Structures are given as C-alpha cells and as structure tokens.
Amino acid sequence: MKTVSFTETCLPIPKTPCLLSCRLWICCCFLNILCKHDSSSISKLNQVVGTKMIWVAVIGDWFNLIFKWILFGHRPYWWVQETMIYPNQSSPCLEQFPITCETGPGSPSGHAMGSSCVWYVMVTAALSYTVRWKDKLAVTLHRLTWSFLWSIFWIIQISVCISRVFIATHFPHQVILGVFAGILVAEAFEHTPAIQTASLRMYIKTNLFLFIFALGFYLSLKLLDIDLLWSVPKAKKWCANPDWINIDTTPFAGLVRNLGALFGLGLGINSEMFVTSCKGKNSCKLSFRILCIAASLATLQLYNFIKIPTHTEYLFYILSFCKSAAMPLTVVALVPYCVHSLMKTTEKKLN
C-alpha cells in the first residue's frame, strides 16, 4: 500500500488560527492573569487551573489522535460519495465550506473533544470557589451558579456539535463521542495533582513518551500494511476546492503542535523568569495583570501571522514544534518577566 506524504497532498496552512492556538490563547492568558503572590487557597487554585487547562488540551488532543487511528471514522463529505447505500447515484449533495476538508479520520471529533475538556476544567474551577460557602444564602447562590454554568457548558458543546455536523465534517455520533471523551480526559486530570509540581525533566519525559508511543503505533500498523494516512487521499479526491485542503489538519501536524505546547509550558513555569515575575511583589498588582493580558494577546496575535513553509515535510514539523513551544513560553514566562522588569525600572525612576 502506497504511503502518501503530507506535503504531496496538502497545500499551505490556513490563515485562521488552529484549534490548539485558540486553546492556548485562553489557557495561557488565564494562567498569567491570575497568578498572584499571596498564599491564599484561591491564589494557588488559579495557577493550578491554568496549568491543568493546558495539560488537558494537549493530552486530550493526543488521545483524540490515537482514537482516530483506532476507529477509522469516515467524514460525511467523502462518505456520501463512496457509500453503496444510495442506489442509482442518488447520494445527497452536501454543501462544503473552507473548513470542511479536514484530512484526518473523523471519529471522535477533535473540536468537540477539545471544547468539552477545556470548558469542563473552567466550569469545575469556577464552581470550586462557591462550593465552600456555608450559609443558607450562599448555598442557594452556589446552586444557581451551578445550574447557570453547566447550562452554558452544554449550550457551547451543542453549538460546537451542530456546527461540525452542519459543515459536513462529522457525523452526529462522532461529535457526541468527542464531547464525552473530552469530559473523561478532563475528569481524569481532576485526580492528577502531580502535574502541578512537574519538573522540566518530567515534561521532557512526557513529551518523549507521547511521541514514541504515537510513532511506534503508526509504524506497527504500517508493518501490518495498514496505512493510517488513508483519509488524506479521500480528502483530496472529494474536497470541492483543493485550496481548502491544509497540512495543518493532518494527524502528525497536530501531534507536533501538542508536543511543542507542552514543552513550552514546562520550560516556562520552571524558568527563573516565571519565578521572578509571577511570584514577585508586582504580581499581585492589578496593573501588572492588565499589562500581561494586553501584551499576551498582542504577542499571540503576532504568532498567528507567522507562516511556516510547507515545501519540506520535516522542516514544517520542526518549525511547528518551535512555534507551538514559543507561545506558552512567551505568555507564561517571557511576557510577565518583561512587564515585571518594566514596572521595576519605572518604580526606581519615580523613587
């Protein structure tokens, strides 16, 4: 069976930010905005939540990749063209959009899984603030908050699921599976406190394990003459517009981004810059956090304008890894350190 190279079948990366970049935008900013110097339980929880969100997003995407390789799920936009269910070529005509032609297998939905796991962490973190309230009025408020937040959670998940089905990228069962798989991953990290004290060595070991396992799984099936890139030719064949096919949506591209993001987080929170800035006296100031928000959003927006060349497959992977690592490193450590240094210099001049 012929193996298809990503760069032979896919065109340049889309200008829109990838899903992982959007998650990191939320997660990394949340981590920096909320880090404080005081030792209260709420302050500690803020950093815990920020770190957990990135871990959940990365590991959730990794599990999604493995599940897709195992389940061999078809996508509607090519399935209706090849199925023998419809007689006399009476298959329905599905409208395609620029974001329809993803090249990987379809089950479970990565968007649904990623959305549910990240939002699950956010909702449970918010509710953990109110669950400690003891008086009667506070208990009532907690119940109302619980109902409101979980309603919002399910509205978001249903909206994501409907949108993915509408653009003919997923079947209903694929998005439903993605939602519940994401919840399971997020819930698992509720009982994994070790990630909060993980050293850089642990981050590197985790990265190596994720990479070796995924690559080993891919090569093992390849030896059995099972091509895990079977979906790429189908996407190329049945996509209404070749310009809509992107290397950014291939399985290994997502894996490289995940590994880079996790490595960047480990490098950032274990750096002296993070300790100096997010645990210094300026970190509890409102001005520090506002400047971190503005600088982080501006910097991440600039990263989205960086175009990675696609003419060489291995160069694309290396640069994707570096870009993904740079994003959390910049927001978690570099931006706060620069803001901290700027405020420190300003204070010295005023004194």
Q: Which residues pair with 246 in a beta bridge?
A: 11
Helices (H) and strands (E) in the chain, counts: 14, 0
Q: What is the DSSP letter of 240?
A: S
Phi, psi values for residue 11, rounded to 5°: -105, 180
Please state, in angstroms and rounded to a whole number, the distance separating the CA atoms of residues 290 and 334: 15
Please state, in angstroms and rounded to a whole number, the distance separating the CA atoms of residues 6 and 312: 10
Of 174, 42, 67, 64, the C-alpha closest to 118 is 64
Q: Which residues pair with 11 in a beta bridge?
A: 246
Match 């700027």 to its residue by tokens: 342
Exactly one of 111, 142, 173, 311 is catalytic; name it. Answer: 111
Please state, in angstroms and rounded to a whole number, the distance separating the CA atoms of residues 32 and 278: 8
Tell me the C-alpha to C-alpha distance, in Å, between residue 83 and each of 51, 194, 239. 44, 47, 16
142 given a catalytic annotation: no
Is 23 annotated as a binding-site member? no
Phi, psi values for residue 277, rounded to 5°: -90, -55
111 given a catalytic annotation: yes
Please state, in angstroms and rounded to a whole number, the distance separating the CA atoms of residues 175 and 111: 8
The HSE-up count of residue 282 (CA atoms within 13 Å, CB side) is 24
Is 289 annotated as a binding-site member? no
Q: Decide: helix, strand or coil at residue 98.
A: coil
Exactly one of 74, 170, 191, 340 is catalytic; name it. Answer: 170
User: Residue ranges for the binding site for substrate?
Assistant: 75, 164
Catalytic residues: 111, 170
User: Residue ranges for the binding site?
Assistant: 75, 164
